[in-house]
Chain A
Amino acid sequence: MHSYPVKLSSKAVNLWFGDKHVLKDITIDFHKNQITALIGPSGCGKSTLLRCFNRMHDLTPDVRIEGKFLLEQQDLYEKGLSVTQVRKRVGMVFQRANPFPKSIYENINYGLKINNIPKSERQGIIEQALKESYLWDEVKDELQKPATRLSGGQQQRLCIARAVALRPEVILMDEPCSALDPVSTLKIEELIVELKKNYTIVIVTHNMQQAQRIADKTVFMYLGEVIEAGDTKDVFGSPENDLTANYVRGRFG
């Protein structure tokens, strides 16, 4: 039925923070070269779910995870698989742009360095990553400038470039535009749509219009459960569940 193969999936996932049952029996597929939006009211567990796929909960105390997370056939939580390997294949962009307090060049170079990419290749990769993130033309003459002096939108594109530079297979985005103005937001959305040619993208968003503008698939979550998942136009146009209908029509959230 789907023309795009499954790239990333979770199987019967349950997650607890202490006694709090945050994710309940979540089984879900994300398709290759597609943008999937995770929507739902605050506290529904969408960011928590997103962060499972690159094991960002590893250092959180008191967290218990059951179930399986698969990247193609690879179990992401397999014993003996290093977390840095996982994160190289599954990149992440955060809610607030968080460039390192270093130069623009170093922001991307640092990731290449710690992943042991040979020095001779780095220059090319950095240029490529900045071009892919629509940032190259704006910064090519001032790569040594501190990244913190870029505008908010530019910083977020730099963070995308930083993720893209490592050639991940999946990019997770946790409300990447929520701190940006409308113009910067549109630019990033254009970029995300462009990126899906090469990557599989999962994006958490609070913005209904954004989900409809860019996402091929949409997953609606509520109180730790997946209520409805499907093509974006179906989830928004003809939702099967009343909760979904009320949420996408802005009646709560």
Chain B
Amino acid sequence: MKRLTPVIEWGTLLLTTGTVCFFLVVILWDLAIKGAPALSWTFVTALPSEGMTQGGIFPAIMGTILLTLITTIVAVPFGISCAIYLDEYATDSWVTRLIRASIRNLSGVPSIIYGLFGLALFVQALHMGTSLLSAGLTLGLLSLPYVISTTEEALRRIPASTREAALAIGSTQFESIRDLVLPSALPGIMTGIILSLSRAAGETAPILFTGVAFYINNPTGFLNQEFMALPYHLYMLSTQHHAIEQVRPLAYGTALVLLIVVFLLNLTVFYIRHKHSNHA
């Protein structure tokens, strides 16, 4: 029996890992097989036409990219600064503990609540209307707690000896963070950012009330205009369209494009991490 235990332990772990991977592969395979026929140069560069049964999804791709960009601009600088403050400067008091608890709780808030909040604050109170900006800011808020927690985690992994080394040769606390701690923590921070952004890019609920549109015939995204986005377009094609069966291939195509966009985002991080680790 004693000799069997490691085999059983090993087998169980392998089985669970295998199951998870199996489902992932099935989903990807299904999407690739059904989505690939829809993909073409026109599909990614043309406007939708004929009641969205023809043409492409260019406005939705642009919309998602611009939206992610605004989310980044909001979430990254604020998130990193906040994490640096919490991890490096703040003393352990009930105030900081309260802030940390709030951040943890915020990351558990359902995304539709963020949508409502964005509607109330950006769209109505701040008179931004349903627009790319309102939706971007809402998604920025949604990503903020994730960016803060993952950045804090990455900073915490940098040993105290790195900070002390810099301080001991007369650097200020700020210099030690800027020149040594942040660069060393960068790979971890980047991973956190990209995971949060990938998630934000695929969100539908928060942009539903704040700016996403069913259909627009104008590919250029202006900050004060409504826009199309891949996840919402997918939702619409699969449930709201008048000819659902007819546009099913387009829906799969859209899903595949969304996956590719997110995948490209992840690839960027791998590149940056790789470049950085070669540097050090």
B170 and A166 form a contact (CB under 8 A): yes
Interchain nearest-CB distance for B84 vs A (Å): 14
B168 and A163 form a contact (CB under 8 A): yes
Within 8 A of A (CB), among B77-114: 91-92
What is the CA–CA distance of A198 and B138 in the complex, to the nearest angstrom? 61
Q: Which residue of B lies closest to A84 (CB)?
A: B170
What is the CA–CA distance of A50 and B165 in the complex, to the nearest angstrom? 15
Interchain nearest-CB distance for A241 vs B (Å): 33
B170 and A56 form a contact (CB under 8 A): no
Convert B128-168 into 0s and 1s, putting 1 for each residue whose CB lies closer than 8 angstroms to a CB of A. 00000000000000000000000000000001011011111
B179 and A110 form a contact (CB under 8 A): yes
B168 and A100 form a contact (CB under 8 A): no
What is the CA–CA distance of A110 and B168 in the complex, to the nearest angstrom? 12
The answer, yes or no, to whether A96 is at the interface (CB within 8 Å) is: yes
The answer, yes or no, to whether B11 is at the interface (CB within 8 Å) is: no
Convert A81-96 into 0s and 1s, putting 1 for each residue whose CB lies closer than 8 angstroms to a CB of B. 0001101100110101
Interchain nearest-CB distance for B133 vs A (Å): 39
A146: which B residues are within 8 A, CB to CB? 280
Size of the chain B interface, CB-CB below 8 angstroms: 21
A80: which B residues are within 8 A, CB to CB? none
B224: which A residues are within 8 A, CB to CB? none
A54: which B residues are within 8 A, CB to CB? 168
B167 and A94 form a contact (CB under 8 A): no
A87 and B184 form a contact (CB under 8 A): no
The answer, yes or no, to whether A115 is at the interface (CB within 8 Å) is: yes
Question: A84-B172, A94-B161 in contact; A56/B166 too (CB < 8 A)?
Answer: no
Interchain nearest-CB distance for A216 vs B (Å): 24
The answer, yes or no, to whether A101 is at the interface (CB within 8 Å) is: yes
Of B92, B165, B170, B171, which is in contact with the most chain A CB atoms at under 10 Å from its CB?
B170
B92 and A114 form a contact (CB under 8 A): no
The answer, yes or no, to whether A8 is at the interface (CB within 8 Å) is: no
The answer, yes or no, to whether B173 is at the interface (CB within 8 Å) is: yes
A100 and B166 form a contact (CB under 8 A): yes
A98 and B165 form a contact (CB under 8 A): yes
Convert A172-192 into 0s and 1s, putting 1 for each residue whose CB lies closer than 8 angstroms to a CB of B. 000000000000000000000
B280 and A92 form a contact (CB under 8 A): no
What is the CA–CA distance of A163 and B171 in the complex, to the nearest angstrom? 12
Interchain nearest-CB distance for A158 vs B (Å): 11
The answer, yes or no, to whether B208 is at the interface (CB within 8 Å) is: no
B170: which A residues are within 8 A, CB to CB? 84-85, 87-88, 111, 114-115, 166
B183 and A111 form a contact (CB under 8 A): no
B168 and A91 form a contact (CB under 8 A): yes
The answer, yes or no, to whether A1 is at the interface (CB within 8 Å) is: no
18 residue pairs A–B, Cβ–Cβ below 8 Å: A59-B167, A59-B173, A61-B92, A85-B170, A87-B167, A91-B169, A92-B164, A92-B168, A98-B161, A98-B162, A98-B164, A100-B166, A102-B280, A110-B179, A114-B179, A115-B170, A146-B280, A148-B280
